[in-house]
Amino acid sequence: MERQPETELMNEEEQARAYALADFSEPHENFVELFKQSFPGVVVTGDVLDLGCGPADIAIRFAKRFPDCQILAVDGAEMMLKFGQEAIEAARLSRQITLKKIYLPTDSLPHKTYQAIISNSLLHHLQDPRVLWQTVKQYAQHGASVFVMDLMRPRSESAARDLVEEYAGNEPDILKRDFYHSLLAAYTVGEVEEQLEREVLLEFSVKPVSDRHFIVAGTV
Ligand SMILES: C[S@@+](CC[C@H](N)C(=O)[O-])C[C@H]1O[C@@H](n2cnc3c(N)ncnc32)[C@H](O)[C@@H]1O
């Protein structure tokens, strides 16, 4: 099935609320667990950059796992950041996580480089996937741990519909709609390997980790 791009920013209020309220505990806990497995023994203590952070659930889980790091979490959608700020305050992590409205690509992050760069489910939103990989190259410090997770495009629209029913069957229609469009907009593992080759990010490896997710991990 051909890739069908979707809108980059998730800035509709209803859409952002549905996303913020959805239960992503399984894939998001898995995100942090797979980060740890990909970088065994690494204790993240410095500045971390979360690209396309949405309502900050990943940043919160990462902050709890690595309490000595400082996270800058960026997103271009104001509405997502509003829900993210509420979640950070509820988790009492305002001192460890800072949110910033940034539309990528950008030259205006507060630090020149970061010790770790993480991103979940941003890549498939980007009209140009080079934005993610070039941002990683621009802001990763030497030795940085880079960890990206995203959806994998299924073989067909009917396979995408099956995944929506299996994993979001009880969620509001707007979330199901977005999940479906995200699956159609997602990249295949082969396409991501080509993106990394083109950007000469040869130290990164791509690996499927579930029926709908792959990870990309590597040390810069
Ligand atoms: C599917 S959400 C993922 C949110 C979060 N990482 C998570 O896993 O819960 C994708 C996010 O990327 C943001 N986004 C898409 N394109 C962007 C861009 N060019 N610059 C900044 N944020 C972007 C959207 O606004 C949205 O909040």
Distance 78 CA to ligand 1 centre (A): 11
Confirm or reject: Cβ of 73 under 6 Å from ligand 1: no
Q: Which atom of ligand 1 is nearest to the CA of 104?
A: 20
The torsion angle over the Cα atoms of residues 35, 37, 40 and 44, rounded to 10 degrees, is 20
Token couple for 109 = 């992050």
Tell me the pairing of strands 213-219 and 140-151: antiparallel
CA atoms within 13 A on the CB side of 9: 15
Model pTM? 0.96
Confirm or reject: Cβ of 104 under 6 Å from ligand 1: yes
How much is the pLDDT for 200?
87
For 173-201, write each residue's pLDDT tens digit.
999 999 999 999 999 999 999 999 998 88
For 108-143, write each residue's pLDDT tens digit.
999 999 999 999 999 999 999 999 999 999 999 999
Q: What is the mean pLDDT of the chain?
A: 96
pLDDT band at 85 (very low <50, low <70, confident <90, very high): very high
Confirm or reject: Cβ of 52 under 6 Å from ligand 1: yes
How much is the pLDDT for 204?
96
Confirm or reject: Cβ of 122 under 6 Å from ligand 1: yes
For 14-57, write each residue's pLDDT tens digit.
999 999 999 999 999 999 999 999 999 999 999 999 999 999 99
Mean pLDDT calculated for residue range 55-68: 98
How much is the pLDDT for 202?
81
Confirm or reject: Cβ of 72 under 6 Å from ligand 1: no
Domains of the chain (ranges plus CATH)?
13-150+187-219 (3.40.50.150)
Nearest residue by C-alpha to atom 1 in ligand 1? 121
Mean pLDDT calculated for residue range 66-70: 97
Confirm or reject: Cβ of 103 under 6 Å from ligand 1: yes
Burial-class residue 124 by CB neighbours within 10 Å (0-12, 13-18, 19+).
buried
Q: Which atom of ligand 1 is nearest to the CA of 9?
A: 25
Mean pLDDT calculated for residue range 97-115: 97
